[in-house]
Structure formats: structure tokens, C-alpha cells
Structure 1
Amino acid sequence: MIHIKTRSFAALILSLSATLASAQERAQQLPSIQLGAGMHLIQAEVAQTDEQRAIGLMHRPTMPANNGMLFVFDQPQPQCFWMKNTLLPLSIAFVADDGTIVNIEEMKPQTLDSHCSAKPVRYALEMNTGWFAKKGIKPGTKLRGKPWAQ
């Protein structure tokens, strides 16, 4: 009897591992672009479909120091994010169509707390927690890169 339960538990763990690996693989196959913030360069994966945005940075145990994820929406509107299934503490900058950071929020991992844009935006940039503050990047700073090229 114990052997059967152990086997069922092992099968459940394998199934969950496969689901996690599948989500990580999809997230890791996103296109990447280079952005600028002041004198700092950012390598950002671009999440632009509903599925890509829904997965975001979930289940990732680490992220390199100057890497992030740029979320691109079809039109400016109030955007809200939460951290369910996200293992990393993150900072999020909500960004206007011209590349100007509207507001920055700090987000704790694995919570359902909402973090929303102060006004309608089409872009949100997630970085490791404290990245913006450490680099002196604040609301009003203008980001550079393909989405905001003139």
C-alpha cells in the first residue's frame, strides 16, 4: 500500500515538474531587445501576447542583474500586476507611449497584491527588486529603445 502511494506521489511530482518546465521554456523563448535607462543598458525579454504576459517571469528562480521583461499591451489603459507563482522580488516601472516612466512599484514574490499604473500605459518593465532605485531611475526618466524610437 505504501509503495502505491509513493508511486502516485512521484507521478504527481513528475507531472508538476513537467508543467513548470513547460512554463519556463515558453517564457525563455521570448524575443529580447536592448533598452536604455540613463547610462544603463537593459536586456529585456518582450512579452506581447496574452499567454506571454500571463506567464511573465513566473517560476524563475533567478534573473541576471541587468535583465528584465518588457510587457507590451495593444493600447494604453490602466495596467495591474501581481506576483502569484513568481519567485523573484521585482520592481515594475509603468511606462508611457513616449518611454517616460509614470510610476515604479516594488513587488513581493508569491503574493496577490495588486500593483497598478498611476495612469493608462502600454508598457511595463519588470526588473530585479530595487534595480531602478539603485540606478537612480525615477518616475519622469525616459527609457530608450525600439518601442520608443522616433
Structure 2
Amino acid sequence: MVRRAARRLAGFLVAGVLLNVPVVRAELPVVELGAGMYRIEAELAHTDKARQVGLMNRTVMPAHRGMIFVFPQDARHCMWMKNTLIPLSVAFLDAEGRILNIERMLPQTENSHCAADRARYALEMNADWFSSRKIAVGERIRGVERLPAGR
């Protein structure tokens, strides 16, 4: 009986992989941020687990969506694109939300993209989102003051 149940479960798992059923992931809270005249809906990654997974294994992201990484301390944090399928741009932000630098990141690479100075946040958006909207280094991302502390 147990062996039959185990075989049935294994069959469902294999079928899910073969049919390309999307991986179920925990929903992250969404926060509203702003850059220039643009509104951003950003998934909140403020825990170790959420920061580790980030935007991995996603095939699309709406134009106005992104992910805000909140770190527990200011440091020269770095990001990479392991298991990330969509091209992204990341803006590293200081504790006040000012953009320190913006890096373009290619899918499924393990190159480090690091903050130019001590950063508290990293905002990932679709590739070239910042440049296409003329959002540049030195500008402030609104709404970071309402974010919970990183943990």
C-alpha cells in the first residue's frame, strides 16, 4: 500500500516536470515604490530566504514590476543571475534610497554585480528599465523609508 502511494506520488512529480508545470513559490509581499514619474510594484525580499531565491526561474515580469532586496546592514552587496531566466537591471541604493549605480545583468550568469558604495537596498527591474525611463545615478527611489528592516 505504501509502495503504491509512493509510486503514484513519483508519477505525479514526473508528470509535472514533463508538462512544465510552474514551480509553486511562496507569495512575497508587494510594496509600492516610485522613481521619477513612474510607479513600481516591487516584491519585497527582506529575509535571507527571499533574497537567496530572488527572481530565479521566472520567465516573464510585467514592465511595472520588480523586486526590492532589503539588506540588514549597509555594505557593498553583490548580485548574480544564477538560475535567473530574464535579463534584469539592478539599481543599488543607499539607506535614503539614492541610486549609487545601475548594472545590467544577463540571464543565467554567475558574474558578480556589486554596489559602487555601501548600499542598503537593491532594486531589480526588467533590463534597461531605468535607462529607458531616464532614471539615473543620484536619483532617489521613493518609498524605501516605509520598508521593513532586513533580517
Alpha-carbon distance in 2 for matches of 1:87, 1:69: 15
Greater helix content: 1
How far is 1:120 from its partner? 1.1
Whole-Å Cα distance in 2 between the matches of residues 81 and 134 of structure 1? 22
**Displacement after TM superposition at 1:148 (Å):** 2.4
Aligned match of 2:46: 48
Name 2:23's counterpart in structure 1: 21
Match of 1:128 in 2: 126
Aligned partner letter, 1:106: R
Q: Normalising by structure 2, what TM-score?
A: 0.83
The equivalent residue for 2:145 is 148
> What SS does structure 1 have at the residue aligned with 2:121?
strand
Percent identity of equivalent pairs: 49
Runs of 4+ in 1 over 3 A off after TM superposition: 10-18
Residue 33 of structure 2: aligned partner: 35
Classify the secondary structure of the residue corresponding to 1:111: coil
Letter in structure 2 aligned against 1:92: V
Which residue of the partner structure matches residue 103 of structure 1? 101
Aligned to 1:5: none
Q: Which amino acid aligns with 1:148?
A: E
- Equivalent position amino acid for 2:58 in 1: R
Q: Secondary structure at the match of 1:132?
A: helix
Deviation at 1:15, TM superposition (A): 6.1
- Which sections of structure 2, spanning at least 5 residues, go unmatched? 1-9, 147-151
Following the alignment from structure 1 to structure 2, what is the Cα–Cα distance between the partners of residues 137 and 96? 15
Structure 1, unaligned runs of 5 or more? 1-7
- Cα distance between partner residues in 1 of 2:15 and 2:73: 40
Secondary structure in structure 1 of the residue aligned to 2:28: coil
In structure 1, the partner of 2:71 is 73
User: Would you say 1:83 and 2:85 are equivalent positions?
Assistant: no
One-letter identity of the residue aligned with 2:119: V
SS in structure 1 at match of 2:131: helix
TM-score relative to the length of structure 1: 0.83
For 2:52, give the aligned amino acid.
A
How far does the alpha carbon of each residue in 1:24-71 deviate from its partner, in whole angstroms, 9 at most, with x for none? x12xx0001110101011000000111100100000000000100000
